[in-house]
């Protein structure tokens, strides 16, 4: 039997004493663990939030494109630098956000311009100022064409997503605003604030081929179901929503939120600014700016009012994760759709609450977009992914 030499024994006992004092358990591994691969940034499931996404208020998340890890309790990941500045160098209002999957790019509109950001390099590939300004745009399912409204002027631009070039212009009424490119890729739905009619364009000819309504007032945020048979609109002066038949062109329902006064609101000027369909199309969620709530309705006629959810600030928008698990009102809450519970608040790198009406969900692998959601709460019942 080998006997430890005195100097070795002393060193061994000294090391054991040190470990006991520090409270550290000392275990000699039988073998060294294999190096675990560290996932590269860009593989995961993220929420991209553009700010300032409530007017030009920097107190709701500052300026930039903020990334949150959806599968890790919506933990803040990073802030990507963006452009979109006024002439004096201050950040301009963000008006919309959209993603092209084949071009691996995210697009952000501000009052004056639109920028295209590559999602691998996170560099701004171009920023273009458009005559008449920019509002909330929408991109075709193939990711190559965009309908870009002017800033409440009387036209929409049809834009090439790769170059930013204008390929057509569509005159509508007088105050172009929100836009939804239909899941089929055949129709684009255009809401003009000053018109009670929803204008529908054919994407082959880039001309208006149908008008839905009239609704009771000018159309604000709206959403559609996945087979493009129904549209759900919020309108000026109504705390609630109206429903239109996209096949016949008629308004078929007007639903008022019961039990709540519509009252004055701080922004947008109308009681319900923001509406979304859960992806399974079973529920309609409607914003209530005065009471700082989200009202939930059945997604089928007669559109029964189901419940209400308290929010911490005035909501002006709502969208959902593609799997229907989470609701994202613009007031910054992450809501579990099934239980109606507020799980958390979006927070930036300094733990400040992030609120924005412009956010979009992205699935990525090695920095490449594999799937992307939409800034609108669109129905997905008849659409894969």
Answer whether the bond into residue 214 is a cis peptide, omega within 30°: yes
Rounded to two decimals, the pTM is 0.89
Give residue for tokens 């590939």.
125
Considering the four listed CATH numbers 2.130.10.10, 1.10.10.60, 3.40.640.10, 2.60.40.10, the one that applies to the domain covering 44-372 is 2.130.10.10
Domain map of the chain by residue range? 44-372
d(CA 279, CA 290): 26
Per-residue pLDDT tens for 209-247?
Answer: 999 999 999 999 999 999 999 999 999 999 999 999 999
Nearest to 210 by CA among 226, 195, 193, 188: 188
134: CB partners within 8 A, 6+ apart: 95, 96, 109, 110, 111, 112, 113, 114, 148, 149, 150, 151
Per-residue pLDDT tens for 115-144?
Answer: 999 999 999 999 999 999 999 999 999 999
d(CA 294, CA 304): 15
Per-residue pLDDT tens for 140-180?
Answer: 999 999 999 999 999 999 999 999 999 999 999 999 999 99
Question: Could you read off the pLDDT tens digit of each residue along the chain, which spans 385 residues?
Answer: 344 444 444 444 444 443 333 333 333 333 333 444 434 567 999 999 999 999 999 999 999 999 999 999 999 999 999 999 999 999 999 999 999 999 999 999 999 999 999 999 999 999 999 999 999 999 999 999 999 999 999 999 999 999 999 999 999 999 999 999 999 999 999 999 999 999 999 999 999 999 999 999 999 999 999 999 999 999 999 999 999 999 999 999 999 999 999 999 999 999 999 999 999 999 999 999 999 999 999 999 999 999 999 999 999 999 999 999 999 999 999 999 999 999 999 999 999 999 999 999 999 999 899 999 999 999 999 865 4
191: CB partners within 8 A, 6+ apart: 177, 178, 179, 198, 199, 219, 220, 221, 222, 233
Residue 40: per-residue pLDDT: 54
Residue 42: per-residue pLDDT: 77
Count of residues for the chain? 385
Residue 350: per-residue pLDDT: 97
Residue 13: per-residue pLDDT: 41
């Amino acid at each position: 039997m080998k006997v430890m030499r005195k100097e070795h024994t002393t060193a061994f006992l000294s090391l054991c004493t040190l470990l006991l004092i520090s409270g550290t358990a000392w275990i000699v591994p039988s073998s060294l663990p294999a190096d675990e691969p560290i996932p590269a940034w860009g593989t995961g499931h993220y929420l991209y939030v553009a700010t300032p996404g409530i007017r030009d208020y920097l107190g709701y998340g500052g300026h930039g494109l903020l990334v949150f890890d959806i599968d890790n309790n919506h933990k803040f990941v990073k802030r990507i630098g963006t452009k979109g500045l006024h002439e004096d160098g201050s950040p301009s209002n963000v008006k919309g956000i959209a993603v092209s999957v084949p071009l691996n790019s995210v697009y952000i509109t501000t009052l004056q311009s639109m920028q295209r950001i590559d999602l691998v390099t996170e560099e701004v590939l171009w920023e273009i100022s458009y005559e008449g300004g920019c509002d909330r745009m929408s991109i075709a399912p193939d990711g190559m064409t965009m309908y870009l409204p002017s800033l409440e002027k009387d036209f929409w631009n049809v834009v090439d997503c790769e170059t930013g070039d204008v390929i057509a212009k569509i005159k509508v009424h007088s105050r172009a605003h929100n836009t939804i490119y239909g899941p089929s890729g055949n129709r684009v739905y255009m809401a003009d604030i000053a018109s009670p009619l929803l204008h529908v364009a054919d994407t082959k000819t880039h001309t208006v081929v149908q008008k839905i309504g009239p609704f009771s007032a000018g159309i604000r945020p709206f959403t559609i179901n996945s087979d493009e048979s129904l549209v759900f609109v919020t309108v000026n002066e109504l705390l609630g929503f109206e429903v239109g038949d996209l096949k016949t062109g008629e308004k078929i329902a007007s639903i008022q939120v019961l039990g709540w006064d519509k009252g004055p609101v701080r922004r947008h000027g109308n009681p319900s600014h923001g509406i979304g369909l859960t992806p399974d199309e079973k529920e309609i969620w409607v914003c209530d700016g005065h009471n700082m709530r989200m009202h939930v309705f059945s997604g089928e006629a007669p559109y029964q009012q189901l419940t209400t959810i308290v929010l911490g600030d005035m909501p002006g928008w709502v969208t959902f994760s593609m799997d229907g698990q989470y609701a994202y009102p613009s007031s910054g809450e992450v809501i579990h759709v099934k239980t109606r519970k507020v799980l958390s608040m979006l927070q930036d790198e300094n733990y400040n609450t992030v609120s924005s009406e412009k956010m979009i969900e992205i699935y990525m692998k090695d920095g490449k977009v594999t799937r992307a959601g939409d800034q609108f709460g669109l129905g997905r019942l008849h659409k894969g992914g």
